[in-house]
Amino acid sequence: MGRSDFRNFLKDKKGVELTLNTVIIAILVVLVLIVVIGFFLGGTSKAKNTISDIFSAGIAGSDFGLAVQQCENYCDQAKDWSPALKEKSPYCTKAFNLDIEGTGEAKTHINGEKKVANSYYCGGTTLSIPCPELESACGNKEDVTAA
């Protein structure tokens, strides 16, 4: 094969370069893999919490039974934590806006000139979910029903 034959051989090659469709598909595959890996490593929990906080920031109330179940789960999760972590556990810090009357809206009170949803805590007087392992760590977290 002479030099001119080799040049003609290279010129006749078709489809050697990547098409734009192939590049776009490769990018999409990489993005999907990143999302799947993030999902399995637990990276979506923060995004889920942020999204739920955005949509529950209004006056929509949580179901009382659901709040009780969540408090029991929070208690079970934090039982074996160190005292410093127990103070920061959701059992101690998570406030619920409850729909006590079944109207689809949380109970509210007036704080200054603003209408604010009442805050109910797991160890507060309304829910009063017992968790002896966390009660001393949480302090006296009372429900906020009036300002």
Q: 31: helix, coil or strand?
A: helix
Question: In degrees rounded to 5, what are phi and psi of residue 96?
Answer: -105, 140
Q: What percent of the chain has pLDDT over 90?
A: 7
In this structure, the answer to whether residues 103 and 75 fall within a common structural domain is yes
Confidence of residue 128 (pLDDT cuts 50, 70, 90): confident
For residue 31, the enclosing domain spans 1-55
| Domain stop point among 39, 55, 71 | 55
Task: Classify each residue of 11-37 as buried b or exposed e, where b means 16 or more C-beta atoms within 10 Å of its C-beta.
Answer: eeeeeeeeeeeeeeeeeeeeeeeeeee
Lowest mean pLDDT among 35-39, 101-105, 115-119: 101-105
Q: Mean pLDDT in the chain? A: 76
Q: Measured between alpha carbons, how far is 61 from 101 in angstroms, rounded to an integer?
A: 10
| Token output for 135 | 């009660």
In this structure, the answer to whether residues 66 and 36 fall within a common structural domain is no
pLDDT the model gives residue 59: 45
| Token output for 22 | 């192939």
Query: Is 36 contained in some domain?
Result: yes
Spatial contact of 85 and 133, defined as CB atoms under 8 Å apart: no
Q: Which residue has the higher pLDDT, 54 or 37?
A: 37
Spatial contact of 72 and 134, defined as CB atoms under 8 Å apart: no
pLDDT the model gives residue 26: 93
In this structure, the answer to whether residues 109 and 64 fall within a common structural domain is yes
Length reported for the chain: 147
Question: In degrees rounded to 5, what are phi and psi of residue 21?
Answer: -60, -40
Structural domain count, the chain: 2
pLDDT the model gives residue 25: 93
In this structure, the answer to whether residues 36 and 73 fall within a common structural domain is no
Residue 130 has pLDDT above 80, yes or no: yes
